[in-house]
Amino acid sequence: MLQSELETRKIRVMKTAQDDAPSSASDLFGAGALVLVTLSNPREKIWGAVLHLTAAGLSMRGIGLESLEDFAGMLRSGEAASASAVFFPMHRIERIELDARNGAIPSIAERFEAKCGRTAVSVLGA
């Protein structure tokens, strides 16, 4: 009897872990996820929040990585600035990566907040 209780609990724990894990890339890169997107033709990098990801492409609210410092400076000084909502067709997308801390290296969102004093969520609506 004790063995069957342990097996039942083990199955319950495993099922809960599976339910909590993302079931696909669309779950992992779902609406609100902060990402860094690398595009081709022309080559550029965009940081922002996913609005919608489909086979046709990616809709996101973001800022070109080369403009991020200026954008953060504008927000820090109180100027009116907002991120653009854009759509990129799938044939332009080379790579989409989650914006996440890597050990001691902070995420872009953490660096952004340190520079302008506002969270990525408040600026991008993630």
Average pLDDT (85-109) is: 94
User: How high is the mean pLDDT of the chain?
Assistant: 83
- In this prediction, residue 82 has a pLDDT band, given cuts at 50, 70 and 90, of confident
- Whether the per-residue pLDDT at 37 is higher than 80: the answer is yes
Average pLDDT (45-62) is: 94
The structural architecture, per CATH, of the domain 24-124 is Roll (2.30)
> How far is the C-alpha of 59 from the C-alpha of 97, rounded, in Å?
15
Q: Which helix (H) or strand (E) segment is 63 a member of?
A: strand 57-64
Do residues 109 and 120 make contact, with C-beta atoms less than 8 angstroms apart? yes
> How far is the C-alpha of 126 from the C-alpha of 30, rounded, in Å?
10
User: Which pLDDT value is given to residue 28?
Assistant: 83
